[in-house]
Structure 1
Amino acid sequence: MDELLESNNPPLDAKHIQLEGVIGEGHWVLAGPQEWITQTWAVLEALLNEERHVNHLIESCKTILHPILMIPEDIIHKIFLTHHFEAIEREGRESLNGQFVLLVLSHVCRDWRRIALLTSWLWPFIMLDFNVYKNEQACQNLLQMYLLWSMIHDITLSIYSEKDLSKSHLTPVLLLSMPWWIYVSMVIPYNWLHAFSTT
């Protein structure tokens, strides 16, 4: 066989017949292993599916039994209340930062989010630093959600900016909430106060 493979010459007639026989017999011999491979692969697929199913079942049970779901709602309210006032007192805390404590707590689980969104007095204390916003569209969406969650409570607003606020997408959203402002703190250049003119 090695000699024939190394040569570019066609085999003699006798060898040709012999090689044709090897090919035919080889196909017949392969039929057995191929059938076993098919059956084995089907068993493996069934076992993998069973493994996935059991793992999903285990994770579902863990989720249902998670200790955070056992906390009574009044305790969750106290947790929000404590962190709410800590966030207000913490100087320079940016409300539209994804790490803002109330946003983080509202993403713990579905129940915590429901409680956070239904507790409207958590949201009317808004602190904005226009200098840090890189994606104003995302911040605009979040600010609109803040104002919606506050359910038209009186709003305490703190603004810091070195930019021209008249060009910001957030300014029109803020102006819509102006009737509910009870306290406003602004650190902005005097020339840009016109951005908050309603006339």
Structure 2
Amino acid sequence: MAPHPSPQVSSVCSLHSCPDIPKSISDDPRIQALLKCNGPLLEVDRVSLRATISESSELLSVLKEKIDRVQQTLNTLLDGQAKVTENLRAAKTLLHPIRSIPDDVLRHIFSFCVHEVCDLLKEDVAPDSLDSRKPPWALSQVCRSWRRVSLSTASLW
């Protein structure tokens, strides 16, 4: 058994100064043979395995620290992504074209909503403006400006 297996480094880790990650000792034919029997170990095997334990423990600590730092960075990036996404959503909402429709155009659109319902119901009388499910009420519950326009348009009621 070789005292120190040759290191194998991930290309991702090498970009971010990861320590060299050793190959698995389970791939070593000597280790595979030792794992299949209960015979005593040679002294050279004991020394090599103790060195592996020591080095692996140190490397594990280093890797855990690096993982913690990367996790903190990831959390910071995810928080930033959420804030930027919210900024984007808010900006798009504020710039939405519906917000710039003039009141007279809204009144005209609203009148089609009310009259269309009357036509569908084939009523010859004015719509029942007391029914909260009907257009005058529904339109007035969308937003403050629609409420103002809806309530100020007598023909809807």
TM-score range, shorter chain: 0.5 to 0.7
1:34 aligns with one of 45, 64, 89:
64
Larger radius of gyration: 2
Which residues of structure 1 form unaligned runs of 5+?
A: 124-199
Query: Is the Cα contact below 8 Å between 1:83 and 1:102 reproduced in 2?
Result: yes
- Superposed CA offset, 1:70-129 (max 9, x none): 112332222111221121012479x9xxxx8838x7399423653477468746xxxxxx
1:19 aligns with one of 34, 46, 49:
49
Q: Which amino acid aligns with 1:34?
A: K
Residues 1:111 and 2:140 are matched in the alignment:
no
Query: Is the Cα contact below 8 Å between 1:106 and 1:112 reproduced in 2?
Result: no
Q: CA–CA distance in 2 between the matches of 1:31 and 1:92?
A: 79
- Equivalent pairs counted in the alignment come to 116
Larger fraction in strand = 1
1:61 aligns with one of 88, 91, 102:
91
Q: CA–CA distance in 1 between the matches of 2:75 and 2:85?
A: 15
Q: Which amino acid aligns with 2:82?
A: R
Q: CA–CA distance in 2 between the matches of 1:22 and 1:107?
A: 74
Question: Given the two structures, how large is their TM-score scaled by the length of structure 1?
Answer: 0.46
Query: Is the Cα contact below 8 Å between 2:139 and 2:146 reproduced in 1?
Result: yes
Partner of 2:135: 102
Q: How does 1:1-199 map to 2 (within 5 A)?
A: 1-7=31-37, 9=38, 11-12=40-41, 14=43, 15-16=45-46, 18-91=48-121, 102=135, 106=139, 109-111=142-144, 114-115=147-148, 118=151, 122=156
Q: CA–CA distance in 1 between the matches of 2:64 and 2:87?
A: 35
Using a 3 Å threshold, how does the CA distance of structure 1 residues 92 and 22 change in structure 2: closer, same or farther?
A: farther
Q: CA deviation at 1:6?
A: 2.1
**In angstroms, what is the RMSD of aligned CA positions?**
3.5
Q: CA–CA distance in 1 between the matches of 2:53 and 2:141?
A: 65
Identity %: 27
Question: Given the two structures, how large is their TM-score scaled by the length of structure 2?
Answer: 0.56
Q: CA–CA distance in 2 between the matches of 1:10 and 1:107?
A: 86
Using a 3 Å threshold, how does the CA distance of structure 1 residues 121 and 91 change in structure 2: closer, same or farther?
A: same
